Structure 1
Amino acid sequence: MTSLVFFCGHAGTGKTTLAKKLFGPLTKASGTPFCLLDKDTLYGGYSAAAMAMVTGDPNDRDSPLFLQHLRDPEYRGLIDTARDNLELGVSALVVGPLSREVRERRLFDHAWLGVAPGVKLRVVWVRTSEDVARQRIVARADPNDAYKLAHWDDYRRRRFEPSGASREGLLMFDNTAPSSADYQALVAQIVAG
């Protein structure tokens, strides 16, 4: 059985770092091959070129223009690439904020994802405090974060913490200072079922 595992959350929570750390343990525990699909790796260069052409700012990843015209096609391509791998028998770890999709419960919908009903879906919500996330964003000094940092109040209003119905089925992971036991427990949760 193949698995589609999403690592979602806001910038600076450590989604990519966590997915890479768990890649080997998940492959071993599940006995199935995985691929790692990170939105920024797959679409960062393309989106930079497109935004440079349109706005003159290749690092714009949070303006209303980007969110309206490029965000959804990036995510659709990310999910479509995961689906192609799943159809070949390769499970996928998918990394991206995907906050709207989490809020709307889309990542639990096999039909919306376009994946076979037998694919095991897991959604990990990676979180840390806003202050820690902002410190990490500043420390990594990625030019793609410039708009976000310059418009922090607008960005922080878009952040949400899943609760109620939007939290159902999510594997919540506090990535502030996890221990080895925390990582092992998350692997077990992802593989379970």
Structure 2
Amino acid sequence: MKHLIFFCGHAGTGKTTLAKQLFAPLMHATGEPFCLLDKDTLYGAYSAAAIGALTGDPHDRDSPLFIEHFRDPEYRCLIDTAAENLALGVSVVIVAPLTREVRNGRLFDRAWLGIDDDVAISVVWVHVDEDVARERIVARGDPNDAYKLAHWEEYRKRLFVPDEALARTLVMFDNTTPSGEAGGELVARLVA
């Protein structure tokens, strides 16, 4: 069975680092080929050029303009690329916040995802405390975080913690103090 594994969560939670650390163990545990689709790698440069042409600021990735006009097309292309790989027999790891899609359950909607029943879907919600996330965002020094940091109060209003009912549909992963043991346990849950 092919796998579609999402690593979702807010900025600064360590989604990309975690997905990359678990990539080889996932391939080993399943015996399947995987591809890694990271939203920032796939669309970061293009979106920076486009938003920069419109606003003069290529790092304007959390502004209302970006969210209204660029967010959904980026995610649609990401999902379509995943579906294309899955149709070719390649399992997929997706790294992206996808917070709206987590909240509304779209990541389990096979029609919206464009995938068949022969694909196992797992959604890992990677989380840390807000203070830890902010410290990590500041420490990484990514210019794409400038708007978010300059408008932190506005940004934090979009943050959410899955409620109990939603959390039951997700694989919750506290990434505050990452460890190899916790990563191994997560891989076991994802391939069970």
TM-score range, shorter chain: over 0.9
Provide the secondary structure at the position in 2 that maps to 1:70: helix
Provide the secondary structure at the position in 2 that maps to 1:158: coil
* 2:62 equivalent in structure 1: 62
* 1:102 equivalent in structure 2: 102
Residue 68 (structure 1) shift: 0.3
Q: Which runs of 5+ in 2 are unaligned?
A: none
Q: How do 1:27-38 and structure 2 match up within 5 A?
A: 27-38=27-38
**Partners in 2 of 1:180 and 1:158 — Cα distance?**
31
Provide the secondary structure at the position in 1 that maps to 2:157: helix
The question of 1:171 aligning with 2:176 is answered: no
Provide the secondary structure at the position in 2 that maps to 1:97: coil
**Partners in 1 of 2:36 and 2:158 — Cα distance?**
26
Q: How do 1:12-161 and structure 2 match up within 5 A?
A: 12-161=12-161
**Partners in 1 of 2:169 and 2:183 — Cα distance?**
18
Provide the secondary structure at the position in 2 that maps to 1:172: strand
Which amino acid in the other structure matches residue 103 of structure 1? Answer: R
C-alpha deviations, 1:60-95, integer Å up to 9, x for none?
A: 110000000000000000011111110110000000
Residue 112 (structure 1) shift: 1.1
**Partners in 2 of 1:47 and 1:178 — Cα distance?**
31
Query: What TM-score, normalized by structure 1, do the two folds share?
Result: 0.98
Which amino acid in the other structure matches residue 33 of structure 1? Answer: P
C-alpha deviations, 1:80-128, integer Å up to 9, x for none?
A: 1111110110000000000000000110111111111221000000000
Question: What is the CA RMSD across the aligned residues, in angstroms?
Answer: 0.7
Contact 1:13-1:128 at 8 Å conserved across structures: yes
Provide the secondary structure at the position in 2 that maps to 1:12: coil
For this pair of structures, how many residues does the alignment match?
A: 192
Contact 1:104-1:166 at 8 Å conserved across structures: no
Residue 181 (structure 1) shift: 1.7
* 1:11 equivalent in structure 2: 11
